[in-house]
């Protein structure tokens, strides 16, 4: 049964954040709110999270996992950026965007795309997600909480708890989240290609 943790949506309680971080450090898989619906989250070095997420979402090995970062400096440790990418992405973060970029050696091999050696990165604009990443001191391995047969990510913590009670270890409830997923921009070929239109404005990448 998943642990249910309530947090203030704008000013998450440090004690509650610390409790969840402690669970993450013990290989937990969590469901947490972001500015684009709920997401699965785990530590980068989790031995079980990737397989658990793939099983729940019925994903193949070509799925891009996302590293949810606290700030641009942290993001830059895990992906390779040229000057144009640096300027465009810095101007778009934090916000509802996911960027696919070549991974650095800091990214565990199992998280990068098997052929392209790329990974998704984002900086959310949600106080709870940012508090978790800052307290953890490293990005969260993440994937949208989009279940098979669903078109939109889940947005309500209590419903997430009911649906995934025996599949995740922690569910954070901070009130209802936006339902529109991130805009995904693939920059792996050196130019921006919008591969999913979501909450983020696409005009600067077209």
pLDDT band at 149 (very low <50, low <70, confident <90, very high): confident
Tell me: pLDDT of 112 over 80.
no
Q: What mean pLDDT is predicted for residues 29-36?
A: 95
pLDDT at 177: 87
The domains of the chain, with CATH numbers, are 3-205 (3.90.870.10)
Average pLDDT over residues 193-206: 91
Does residue 145 register a pLDDT over 80? yes
Q: What is the mean pLDDT of residues 46-71?
A: 90
pLDDT reported for residue 151? 80
What was the pLDDT predicted at 205? 87
The better pLDDT of the pair 206, 143 is held by 143
Q: Give 130-133's long-range contacts (Cβ < 8 A, gap of 24+).
A: 130/70, 130/94, 131/12, 131/17, 132/17, 132/20, 132/21, 132/24, 132/32, 132/41, 133/68, 133/69, 133/70, 133/74
Residue 153 has pLDDT above 90, yes or no: no
The candidate with the shortest Cα–Cα distance to 45, out of 115, 123, 114, 106, is 106
Helices (H) and strands (E) in the chain, counts: 6, 10
First to last CA, the chain: 45
pLDDT at 113: 74
Report whether pLDDT(147) > 80.
yes
- The structure's pTM equals 0.93
């Amino acid at each position: 049964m998943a642990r249910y943790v309530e947090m203030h949506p704008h000013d998450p309680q440090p004690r509650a954040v610390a409790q969840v971080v402690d669970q993450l450090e013990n290989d937990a898989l969590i469901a947490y709110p972001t500015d684009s619906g709920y997401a699965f989250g785990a530590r980068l070095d989790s031995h079980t999270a990737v397989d658990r997420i793939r099983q729940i979402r019925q994903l193949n090995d070509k799925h891009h996992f996302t590293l949810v970062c606290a700030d641009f400096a942290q993001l830059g440790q895990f992906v390779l950026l040229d000057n144009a990418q640096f300027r465009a992405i810095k101007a778009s973060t934090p916000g509802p965007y996911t960027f696919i970029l070549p991974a650095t050696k800091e990214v565990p091999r199992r998280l990068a795309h098997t052929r392209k050696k790329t990974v998704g990165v984002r900086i959310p604009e949600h106080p709870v997600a940012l508090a978790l990443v800052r307290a953890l001191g490293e990005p969260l391995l993440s994937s949208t909480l989009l279940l098979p047969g669903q078109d939109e990510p889940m947005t309500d913590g209590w419903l997430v708890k009911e649906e995934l009670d025996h599949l995740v270890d922690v569910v954070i409830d901070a009130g209802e989240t936006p339902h529109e997923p991130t805009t995904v921009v693939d920059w792996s070929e050196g130019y921006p290609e919008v591969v999913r239109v979501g909450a983020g404005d696409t005009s600067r990448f077209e």
